[in-house]
Amino acid sequence: MCANRTSGFTHYDAAIYAADTFERAWHRMATILERAWIALHMDEKLEALKQYTIDHPIMTLGAVLTFCMCSIPITCFLFFVMGSLFLTFLGFIFVEGFLLTLASVLLGGALFIVGMLSIGASSILAVAWCVLTAGTGCFTAIKSKIMTTRYSPRHSLFSFLSYEHTNGECVKELGPVKAE
């Protein structure tokens, strides 16, 4: 039962209720066993068994030794079964724990590598976009400059870089540029 704050029923109340229920069930079971003990006349049978053990001690010793010797293989088998179950459970936990750890490490590594690759690829694409945008802007500006400027046939596009040598000096000559 869950604790419900509106009804006032807490975990402590649930524990008390469970203990009371267990106590009532135990009392009923004890009553049933007591009635069966009385109905089967077990007191008389137990008293007769005690008297038989006193009267025949060798037979009692033989019966006890037979019971003990028969219980050894059963006890060994039960220990083997319980040990096998325990070791199987322990092995399962270790193997599963190792597999889960290995899988978590592999998954974490794969996610880290994919994350780094995606960050690197997106960074390269962002830089390429910026470079291409700036390059396109430069080329557009140069194209508009070329389209608005008209050069005479005497002067080429790069005629302003031509040099004349006079008196041993290099003099830059800018040609006439006409705008339409």
Q: What is the pLDDT, as a whole number, of residue 152?
A: 46
User: Residue 41: what residue type?
Assistant: H
In angstroms, the Cα distances linking 7 to 45, 47, 170 are 54, 56, 104
Q: What is the pLDDT of residues 126-174, one digit of tens each?
A: 999 999 999 998 888 888 877 776 554 454 555 555 444 444 444 444 4
Q: What token pair was written down for 54?
A: 């006193």
Share of residues in the chain with pLDDT > 70 (%): 78
Confidence band of 11 (pLDDT split at 50, 70, 90): confident
Q: What token pair was written down for 123?
A: 């960074």
Q: What is the pLDDT, as a whole number, of residue 172?
A: 47
Q: What is the pLDDT, as a whole number, of residue 150?
A: 55
Provide the β-strand partners of residue 163: 172
Provide the β-strand partners of residue 165: 170
> 179 and 148 in contact (C-beta within 8 Å)?
yes
Mean pLDDT to the nearest integer, 4-15: 73
H or E segment to which residue 150 belongs: strand 149-150
Cβ-based neighbours of 114, under 8 Å, separated by 6 or more: none
- 3-class DSSP assignment, residue 168: coil
Q: What is the pLDDT of residues 15-67, one digit of tens each?
A: 899 999 999 999 999 999 999 988 888 989 999 999 999 999 999 999 999 99
